[in-house]
Amino acid sequence: MLSRQDIELPNNHYIDMYNEAGLAGHNAFMLGAVNRSQYYKLLGVMAMTEVLDPPQYMKLVKGCYRLGLLTDDVHYYNEHITIDIKHGDDWLYKVINNIVDKNPDSKSEFYQGSLLRLQTAERYYDYL
């Protein structure tokens, strides 16, 4: 797709386009991924991502079509508009609820991770 649009990917992969809000969102994932003690927070971050993404993907796909991109160009996003709704439900009801049933103290960690993801996404979307 980039070649068809005559866009060359720079060596830094556009990292300079992220501000601190975008990097904070990335760091929310890394918090739990590199520090096992933050595992439940990471699951909250991941669950909220599945819940947040479908409406954003709808907007992205609509914009891509408006710019003349092809269905194949946005296949992943089109597919995940519906798939991530199920993923979000599965995260909340099949993963998190089961863990909380076995370990009630984990509930606050899930909540903190979910809140962290919502806050970082809000700041990044406001920046965009």
Q: Has residue 2 been placed in a domain?
A: no
Residue 12: the pLDDT is 84
Q: Has residue 3 been placed in a domain?
A: no
Q: Has residue 6 been placed in a domain?
A: no
Q: Has residue 53 been placed in a domain?
A: yes
Half-sphere exposure of 128 (CA within 13 A, CB side): 9
Structural domain total, the chain: 1
Residue 3: the pLDDT is 84
Return the structure tokens found at 27.
Answer: 């760091």
Q: Which residue has the tokens 């863990």?
A: 99
The pTM for the full model equals 0.83
Q: Has residue 65 been placed in a domain?
A: yes
Q: Which residue has the tokens 């947040």?
A: 52
DSSP 84-122: HHHHHHHIIIIIIHHHHHH-TTHHHHHHHHHHHHHHHHH
Q: Give the domain range for residue 59.
A: 15-127
The alpha carbon of 47 is separated from its chain's Cα centroid by a whole number of angstroms, namely 9
What are the average pLDDT values for consecutive 10-residue runs of the chain, which has 128 residues? Answer: 83 83 90 89 92 93 94 94 89 93 96 95 91
Q: Has residue 35 been placed in a domain?
A: yes
